[in-house]
């Protein structure tokens, strides 16, 4: 049976991997909407290849280029945040929500309101609007499937189990490219070094988050909303090989772990095919070739981001939204050469200390908190 799919963030790394799987199973899927922030030429090429109904650029300034590239194709071309939300609202069986950062929040919410299935690859949306988003999921009966490798692993390990029987949920972290670096080396780290992840091929923002360990902190908050076992039952362990993607320990002492190659097509395929399975081109896991698996406690002196995120999760309310916004500002400044690598977590922490708004009750509340937190974080940027 052919199913319909929309991919929000089609030109990014998650979009590329999703479309690779759709391409390999063309008879199973009909593409409805594809979006990108800009990347008009690439978006148009993909829309033509997959016969999409509509292609949307989030940046309206890129719309003329998109329309020119799609001229004569019969594919609708639109641009701007409102058009992006309208495209996300088109009824489809599965929406892949893969727009990076808080920019993906509003369209992801519109997709949730369809009441179908949303494959969530945008952790920032759930971090910023956790209570608002989960309430919307419940209101519309939407199936929310996690795509992050760690959360998809937990989802698989919980299959057939009960959350009340869970003793621990353990998120694994590679430790990023700077795991063994000294404090002085971290001070001098460059954007090029930070985005060179040892195991995963990811976009710049998420690669920097992995290097600071903020990615794992945000995933800790996301796990809290996806798997409500309580913050005291969530923990992080550094696992440099990135073979075990997460683990669930039950009260009888059994621990279930999901293992697989460091290829995002594995968790994406899990979400697309759920509750069944689908073939992927990924190489089978060769444990003999891996040789050994090692584990370490996070070093929160050199990488304080996980502690900052855990404290934000415990504070609750608007704190996670403030943290996410400040981190996005700080990461963008680091990539632009404006601040040092070690300032990223410091800016996030100082923003949290200076801004404690009431808990958001709506999407508009979340967006208002996000905007103010960004403004405050911006005032904390100091030259690198």
Question: What whole-number distance in Å separates Cα of residue 175 and Cα of residue 181?
Answer: 11
124 is in an annotated binding site: yes
Sheet holding 234-238, edge to edge: 234-238, 166-173, 244-250, 255-259
122 is in an annotated binding site: yes
Distance (Å) of CA 257 to CA 120, 169, 298:
21, 10, 19
242 is in an annotated binding site: no
210 is in an annotated binding site: yes
324 is in an annotated binding site: no
11 is in an annotated binding site: yes
150 is in an annotated binding site: yes
148 is in an annotated binding site: yes
Let me know how long the chain is.
384
159 is in an annotated binding site: no
Contacts of 62 (CB under 8 A, 6+ apart): 37, 38, 39, 40, 79
Which of these, 298, 348, 296, lies nearest to 326 by C-alpha position? 348
**Two structure tokens written together for 340:** 């040092």
- The angle at the Cα of 139, spanning 136 to 140, to the nearest 5 degrees, equals 90
112 is in an annotated binding site: no
Beta strand 255-259 with 244-250: parallel, antiparallel or unpaired? antiparallel
140 is in an annotated binding site: no
Residues 238, 300: contact at Cβ < 8 Å? no
14 is in an annotated binding site: yes
79 is in an annotated binding site: no
Which of these, 275, 200, 205, 277, lies nearest to 21 by C-alpha position? 277
Please identify which residue in the block is written with the tokens 């063309």: 26
- Annotated binding-site ranges for NADPH: 11-14, 122, 124, 203
- Annotated binding-site ranges: 11-14, 122-124, 148-150, 174, 197, 203, 210, 215-216, 219
- Annotated binding-site ranges for 1-deoxy-D-xylulose 5-phosphate: 123, 149-150, 174, 197, 210, 215-216, 219
- Annotated binding-site ranges for Mn(2+): 148, 150, 219
């Amino acid at each position: 049976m052919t199913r319909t799919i929309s991919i929000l963030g089609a030109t990014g790394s998650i979009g590329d991997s999703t479309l690779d799987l759709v391409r390999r199973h063309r008879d199973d899927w009909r593409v409805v909407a594809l979006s990108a922030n800009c990347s008009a030429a690439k978006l148009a090429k993909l829309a033509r290849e997959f016969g999409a109904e509509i292609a949307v650029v989030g940046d309206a300034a890129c719309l003329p280029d998109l329309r020119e590239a799609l001229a004569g194709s019969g594919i609708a071309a639109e641009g701007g945040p409102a058009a992006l939300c309208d495209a996300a609202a088109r009824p489809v069986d599965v929406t892949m929500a893969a727009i990076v950062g808080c920019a993906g929040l509003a369209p992801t919410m519109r997709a949730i309101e369809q009441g179908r299935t949303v494959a969530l690859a945008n952790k920032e949306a759930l971090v910023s609007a956790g209570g608002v988003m989960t309430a919307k999921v419940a209101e519309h009966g939407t199936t929310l499937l996690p795509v992050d490798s760690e959360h998809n692993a937990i989802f698989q390990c919980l299959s057939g189990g009960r959350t009340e029987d869970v003793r621990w949920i353990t998120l694994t972290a590679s430790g990023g490219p700077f795991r063994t670096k000294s404090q002085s080396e971290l001070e001098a780290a460059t954007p090029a070094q930070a985005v060179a992840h040892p195991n995963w091929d990811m976009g710049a923002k998420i690669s920097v988050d992995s290097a600071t360990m903020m990615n794992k902190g945000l995933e800790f908050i996301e796990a809290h909303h996806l798997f409500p076992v309580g913050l005291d039952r969530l923990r992080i362990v550094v696992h440099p090989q990135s073979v075990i993607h997460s683990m669930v320990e039950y009260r009888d002492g059994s621990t279930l772990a999901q293992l697989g190659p460091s290829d995002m097509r594995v968790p994406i395929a899990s979400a697309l095919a759920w509750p069944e399975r689908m073939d992927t081109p990924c190489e089978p896991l060769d444990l003999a070739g891996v040789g050994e698996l090692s584990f370490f406690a996070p070093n929160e002196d050199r990488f304080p981001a996980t502690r900052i995120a855990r404290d934000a999760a415990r504070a609750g309310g608007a704190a996670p939204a403030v943290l996410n916004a400040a981190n996005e500002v700080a990461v963008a400044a680091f990539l632009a050469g404006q601040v040092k690598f070690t300032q990223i977590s410091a800016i996030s922490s100082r923003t949290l200390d200076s801004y404690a708004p009431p808990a958001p009750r709506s999407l508009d509340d979340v967006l208002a908190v996000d905007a103010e937190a960004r403004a405050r974080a911006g005032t904390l940027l100091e030259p690198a």
